[in-house]
């Protein structure tokens, strides 16, 4: 089995002002384990307005920064948008693309997600590509079809030597914010299918290097069950990452779980 990076990503979504963000980092820094090297890479994805403040606050911490979204063009007349080069300038190393909330509320398609993945890679950052099915699609037996379609479109044109630069997050839409996470069996099967799809695109070796995270109602109580699955390489955390204590508990499990 290929050795893959473990990541714990906290997506703050539309939460926290600059003072609140600084207070979070101050509390969180005191909860970080002192032993190194860490088993898991920690990534925070704050709103655009607090990126610079968080970048400054985490400067001496083993924490990476991520944007929550990005436009595919480098600059231009796109009011309200943020480019990958702007995120890079603000200190980001990662960019979340294709989140289900972007798809649902803002009309993002697999075609636009593909352009965003390409833009993130072009600027030397790492896309965290979100894929997932609705409850209706799962009930109709379409989960694998949906995941294959989203992945194949988003990753078409990406060379296999960039596989290790991409992170995929499986987020069953019905589990996000619902308090009803996927079962271990559901997560395992979806992750296996994602891996198989990546392998079909890039071959066994490159497909085996792709980190795949689970997202959807992740908590300190269930993260261990997911990480115990060999198919799950980490988590994209929503609500639980807004509380530094809860997020630190999730991280502590990820650091000790083999």
pLDDT at 1: 47
Query: Burial letters for 146-177: b for 16+ Cβ neighbours within 10 Å, e otherwise?
Result: bbbebbebbbeebeeeebbebbbbbbbbbbbe
pLDDT at 256: 84
State how far the Cα of 220 lies from the Cα of 216, in Å rounded to an integer: 13
H-run or E-run covering 213: strand 212-215
Pick among 3.40.50.150, 3.20.20.70, 3.40.1160.10, 1.20.1420.30: CATH of 7-256 = 3.20.20.70
- Of 223, 151, 179, 195, the closest CA to residue 2 belongs to 195
pLDDT band at 258 (very low <50, low <70, confident <90, very high): low
- Of 175, 180, 192, 200, the closest CA to residue 232 belongs to 192
pLDDT band at 229 (very low <50, low <70, confident <90, very high): very high
Among all residues, which ones are annotated catalytic?
99, 171
| Predicted structure pTM score | 0.96
State how far the Cα of 253 lies from the Cα of 144, in Å rounded to an integer: 29
pLDDT, tens only, 135-169: 999 999 999 999 999 999 999 989 999 988 999 99
Least confident range from 31-45, 176-190, 196-210, 228-242: namely: 31-45
SS3 label, residue 41: strand
State how far the Cα of 42 lies from the Cα of 28, in Å rounded to an integer: 11
């Amino acid at each position: 089995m290929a050795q893959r990076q473990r990541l714990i990503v906290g997506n703050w979504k539309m939460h926290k002002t600059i003072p609140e963000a600084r207070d979070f980092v101050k509390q969180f820094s005191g909860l970080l384990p002192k032993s190194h090297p860490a088993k898991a890479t920690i990534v925070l994805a704050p709103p655009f307005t607090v990126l610079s403040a968080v970048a400054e606050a985490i400067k001496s911490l083993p924490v990476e920064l991520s944007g929550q979204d990005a436009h595919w063009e480098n600059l231009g007349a796109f009011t309200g948008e943020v480019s990958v080069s702007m995120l890079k300038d603000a200190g980001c190393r990662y960019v979340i693309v294709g989140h289900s909330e972007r798809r649902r509320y803002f009309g993002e398609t697999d075609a636009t997600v593909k352009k965003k993945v390409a833009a993130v890679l072009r600027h030397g950052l790492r896309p965290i590509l979100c894929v997932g099915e609705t409850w209706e699609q799962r009930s109709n037996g379409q989960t694998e079809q949906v995941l294959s379609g989203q992945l194949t479109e988003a990753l078409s044109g990406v060379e296999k030597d960039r596989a290790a630069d991409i992170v995929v997050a499986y987020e069953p839409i019905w589990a996000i914010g619902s308090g009803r996470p996927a079962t271990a069996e559901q997560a395992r099967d979806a992750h296996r299918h994602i891996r198989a799809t990546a392998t079909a695109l890039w071959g066994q070796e490159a497909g085996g290097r792709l980190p795949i995270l689970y997202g959807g109602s992740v908590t300190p109580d269930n993260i261990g069950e997911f990480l115990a699955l060999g198919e799950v390489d980490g988590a994209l955390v929503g609500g639980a990452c807004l509380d530094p204590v809860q997020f630190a508990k999730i991280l502590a499990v990820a650091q000790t779980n083999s």
